[in-house]
Structure 1
Amino acid sequence: MAAIIPCHYCSSLSISKLPRSHIPWGNISHVNAAWWGRQLSLRCSVKSSQKAQLHNKMNEKLFPFKEYAISIALAVGLVKGMPFVDWSPNAYAANPSMPDLSVLISGPPIKDPGALLRYALPIDNKAIREVQKPLEDITDSLKVAGVKALDSVERNVRQASRSLEPGKSLIISGLAESKKDPGVELLDKLETGMDELQPIVEGRNRDAVATKQKELLNYVGSVEEDMVEGFPYEVPEEYQSMPVLKGRATVDMKVKVKDNPNIDECVFRIILDGYNAPVTAGNFLDLVERHFYDGMEIQRADGFVVQTGDPEGPAEGFIDPSTEKTRTIPLEIMVNGEKSPFYGTTLEELGLYKAQTRLPFNAFGTMAMARDEFESNSASSQVFWLLKESELTPSNANILDGRYTVFGYITENEDSLADLKVGDVIESIQVVSGLNNLVNPSYKVAG
């Protein structure tokens, strides 16, 4: 099975024994690697001659994600408490950017997959974002105990309403011409819904508030999608003939659960984001239409990720019958502020240590491609879903962001991922919507 993080081992999982190659310096520390080495005494006893042997072990023994994530989180905590940073010329020369440690301690990360997908849309309309933000904040407001929670929600609703009234014309002007009529209709529903939310909040009904909030944010997301006209950039020429998802698609994955008296089957709704990972999402959707995953077992469920996609036989990916070769796809990472993704190179290799990925590993149920550790463009059919909450894997402060391609999120029933075990069977994955956004579908080609 393809690795999803470095596959060579050290004799101990303690932070003092972690090999340097396990620590993505740019993404975790944002400080000089030499300083980390001195402060945390990171050492590795693995010699280069051992790498090939240890790499082969990956198929027999899977990487202990949980222990490493905890160790890394502890390391970050240690760094936070250390006032000393080596500003010597040698240290500066090794890493001239020397970003400040405060980047590690940002605001609460967005964990909701729906919110992540809304913010990931390729739009630039301040008016709709000013309506969206307070509505998204209701989620955090409801976490507060007692009546204070509803007081905060009431402020959120007032703020969203105040932003919508003067911003409506700017929102309408931002709609794509071909989608203006449905966009205006959705905006009217949003306005009516916010009026309906106010008495629900005053009635102090938490459950009803959460239900209405979800409805309103669905309107917001749909309005924002109606602001996107066509596909916003060109995929590199070398990938243009591959299946490419120019937009978004929704699929339902039905899993038959074994040996669990409390649950027989689960249906997971997954939104694939082709705006930010068109080649990766297109490859997956094409395989879905080939029924590649139907009947395949869950092959890894270790408490940190759920993984599948390794077909029977010696091949570790999808063999295209038209070429009789494994179809591989590139590493594909979209960064905030960029108009198109980076291909074939990790953000660390690019030196983009502070870059924020548009689709971060924040949400429970984040969906990404597995690949060989030593080859960025080796992904094919193996996919994994992240189980851990973002306290252990905060955006751009972990071993995954900027190194593995995220191309979607489970948006419904994601909590049931934790119930899956090795041997549970994917009965089917069916497309719900968005198949018309797939170009160059290879499943339609005979043979």
Structure 2
Amino acid sequence: MASPLSSSTVVSHRLFFLHPSPLNRKFLFVKPKLPFHRTNSGDFRMRLHSTSSKIGTKEHIHSCNSSIDSKLNPFEDGSKNLEKLVATILIFVQVWSPLPLLGLDAAYISPAEAVLYSPDTKVPRTGELALRRAIPANPSMKIIQASLEDISYLLRIPQRKPYGTMESNVKKALKVAIDDKDKILASIPADLKDKGSELYATLIDGKGGLQALITSIKKQDPDKVSLGLAASLDTVADLELLQASGLSFLLPQQYLNYPRLAGRGTVEITIEKGDGSTFSAAAGGDQRKSATIQIVIDGYSAPLTAGNFAKLVTSGAYDGAKLNTVNQAVITEDGSGKVESVSVPLEVMPSGQFEPLYRTPLSVQDGELPVLPLSVYGAVAMAHSETSDEYSSPYQFFFYLYDKRNSGLGGLSFDEGQFSVFGYTTAGKDILGQIKTGDIIKSAKLIEGQDRLILPAQNNYNINSST
């Protein structure tokens, strides 16, 4: 653990959570110790500043020499000015397209380190999108999903939108859906076949289906296209969830004695003000003394973390828990002694992989990105254990209040890949910003997914429990 520091040392772009104890204010968890080759945000700015200073000094000296030499040889002065221009162009090219330039790599950010700051980095920007991409479904459905999701990017193009490209994307999705109908329906369990067939028909020719989406695109109405696209993607997600009846990978043997969630679950959390005030009205509603938040927890990508959280919720561990607002997050108080709980190993599913990594944070600078990113407003994750960053807290979770102003140029949190993200706030996101220190979780309930929660034998569970 880091030595206790004052809260004034917490910079805005770092995620430092303070222990709520009034007698001993210390950091609950800190930024994991990174290997020497990784570049944190402070180093990044320092390197740019240092590089700029060196270049500026060289240019200043060079400029003085040029002014003297130019009186003797104007052609040499022109040559040196040309060299300066070429150097400036190389700097511009290296910053915006970081390619290895011979002899210049040491002065610039390497391509691997530039991933964090690249504006082209593609990660889900909403919880709904991240959850949809995390479903381990039939490959044909994933092709349909990707074709439709590309339209979301096309809709952001201002002024003249590429409706022809959008129509081609939908037609591609429609062709895959029709050609691979048997494969799609065969991936659905027998007891869910009827529901699957109904959803499939809706996707093809329903009110919010692909045929209707093509019609909206031909009318070139961006609002109708957006609504139709959302409806089609919702149907795609519903079909994929039917196909994903459990985990698509086997858990390591040593982790089979932990609670786990084999699929999705929904948790409803009711929060009330600790000082007697009210939550602001939403869209003309009344002032409320309490507010409800819903989060979807994802066992497909984080089965141990989501399972342990679901187990704590069902045991009433968070009922009456106080909340604390800290840097870019809302975190529960340390109440691990309230119920029996376990410290789950850090669990992160890398994008493009089929199973999570355990006790190993991701290196975003090296191009590793998680399936469930932290860089989404309302992401839900476990705090780190007080004793090791390789384990999550046995009790404390937090809502991450992502702010792109405190992130890298690529829009990624500086703590991306360092925490076990296991879900997202899907309803009540407007409430998160109104929570203050001292507010209380009145109740937390697992309203969906109870049948997917797998609890180990009691004797095995006790071996790894901590209080």
TM-score calculated relative to the size of structure 1: 0.70
- SS across alignment from 2:446: strand
User: In structure 2, what is the Cα distance between the partners aligned to 1:14 and 1:243?
Assistant: 35
Report the CA distance between 1:382 and its aligned residue.
0.8
User: Aligned to 1:408, which of 398, 401, 423?
Assistant: 423
User: In structure 2, what is the Cα distance between the partners aligned to 1:34 and 1:299?
Assistant: 30
User: Aligned to 1:438, which of 445, 453, 458?
Assistant: 453
1:310 is aligned to 2:323: no
Question: What amino acid maps onto 1:118 in structure 2?
Answer: R
1:386 is aligned to 2:396: no
Report the CA distance between 1:243 and its aligned residue.
1.5
User: In structure 1, what is the Cα distance between the partners aligned to 2:178 and 2:417?
Assistant: 39
User: Aligned to 1:346, which of 357, 361, 368?
Assistant: 361
User: In structure 2, what is the Cα distance between the partners aligned to 1:109 and 1:415?
Assistant: 22
Report the CA distance between 1:359 and its aligned residue.
1.0
The aligned residue for residue 45 of structure 1 is: none
User: In structure 1, what is the Cα distance between the partners aligned to 2:12 and 2:313?
Assistant: 40
- SS across alignment from 1:382: strand
| Structure 1 pair 24–209 and aligned structure 2 pair: CA distance change class (3 A) | farther
Question: What amino acid maps onto 1:297 in structure 2?
Answer: K
User: Aligned to 1:269, which of 285, 294, 298?
Assistant: 294
| Structure 1 pair 223–434 and aligned structure 2 pair: CA distance change class (3 A) | same
Report the CA distance between 1:140 and its aligned residue.
3.6
- List alignment gaps of at least 5 residues for structure 2: 14-29, 52-91, 282-286, 463-467
Report the CA distance between 1:182 and its aligned residue.
2.8
| Structure 1 pair 168–429 and aligned structure 2 pair: CA distance change class (3 A) | same
| Structure 1 pair 9–416 and aligned structure 2 pair: CA distance change class (3 A) | closer
The aligned residue for residue 356 of structure 1 is: 369
Question: What amino acid maps onto 2:332 in structure 1?
Answer: T
User: In structure 2, what is the Cα distance between the partners aligned to 1:246 and 1:296?
Assistant: 27
The aligned residue for residue 234 of structure 1 is: 250
Further displaced range: 433-442 or 173-182 = 173-182
| Structure 1 pair 156–364 and aligned structure 2 pair: CA distance change class (3 A) | farther
| Structure 1 pair 246–13 and aligned structure 2 pair: CA distance change class (3 A) | closer
Question: What amino acid maps onto 1:117 in structure 2?
Answer: L
| Structure 1 pair 102–231 and aligned structure 2 pair: CA distance change class (3 A) | closer
Deviations 1:383-429 (A, max 9, x none): 11121245754789543222110001112232332222222222222
1:121 is aligned to 2:146: no
User: In structure 2, what is the Cα distance between the partners aligned to 1:196 and 1:26?
Assistant: 54
Further displaced range: 241-250 or 174-183 = 174-183
User: Aligned to 1:196, which of 212, 215, 220?
Assistant: 212
Report the CA distance between 1:9 and its aligned residue.
8.0
Deviations 1:87-139 (A, max 9, x none): 88x98xxx9x97373674234532121111111122350x2223212432444
- SS across alignment from 2:293: strand
- SS across alignment from 2:393: coil
User: In structure 2, what is the Cα distance between the partners aligned to 1:278 and 1:101?
Assistant: 31
Deviations 1:1-55 (A, max 9, x none): x99xx9788969599xxxx978857997599x9998755559xxxxxxxxxxxxx
Question: What amino acid maps onto 2:295 in structure 1?
Answer: I
User: Aligned to 1:99, which of 112, 115, 120?
Assistant: 112
1:17-166 equivalent positions in 2, closer than 5 A: 24=34, 29=39, 39-40=48-49, 80=95, 99=112, 101=114, 104-105=117-118, 106-123=120-137, 125=139, 127-145=140-158, 148=161, 156-166=169-179
| Structure 1 pair 35–411 and aligned structure 2 pair: CA distance change class (3 A) | closer
Report the CA distance between 1:370 and its aligned residue.
0.6
User: In structure 1, what is the Cα distance between the partners aligned to 2:266 and 2:307?
Assistant: 12
The aligned residue for residue 423 of structure 1 is: 438
1:169-248 equivalent positions in 2, closer than 5 A: 169-176=182-189, 179-192=192-205, 193-201=209-217, 208-248=224-264
| Structure 1 pair 420–275 and aligned structure 2 pair: CA distance change class (3 A) | same
- List alignment gaps of at least 5 residues for structure 1: 43-76, 312-316
Equivalent pairs counted in the alignment come to 386
Report the CA distance between 1:335 and its aligned residue.
1.4
- SS across alignment from 1:419: coil
The aligned residue for residue 278 of structure 1 is: 303
Percent identity over the alignment?
27
The structure that has the greater radius of gyration is 2
User: In structure 2, what is the Cα distance between the partners aligned to 1:27 and 1:373?
Assistant: 25
- SS across alignment from 1:187: helix
Preserved CA contact (<8 Å) 1:109 1:390? no
Report the CA distance between 1:261 and its aligned residue.
4.7
- SS across alignment from 1:226: helix
- SS across alignment from 1:370: strand
- SS across alignment from 1:355: coil
Question: What amino acid maps onto 1:282 in structure 2?
Answer: G
Preserved CA contact (<8 Å) 1:28 1:397? no
User: In structure 2, what is the Cα distance between the partners aligned to 1:320 and 1:442?
Assistant: 17
User: In structure 2, what is the Cα distance between the partners aligned to 1:26 and 1:121?
Assistant: 35
Preserved CA contact (<8 Å) 1:242 1:440? yes
Preserved CA contact (<8 Å) 2:317 2:338? no
The aligned residue for residue 64 of structure 2 is: none
User: In structure 1, what is the Cα distance between the partners aligned to 2:324 and 2:116?
Assistant: 36
Question: What amino acid maps onto 1:289 in structure 2?
Answer: T
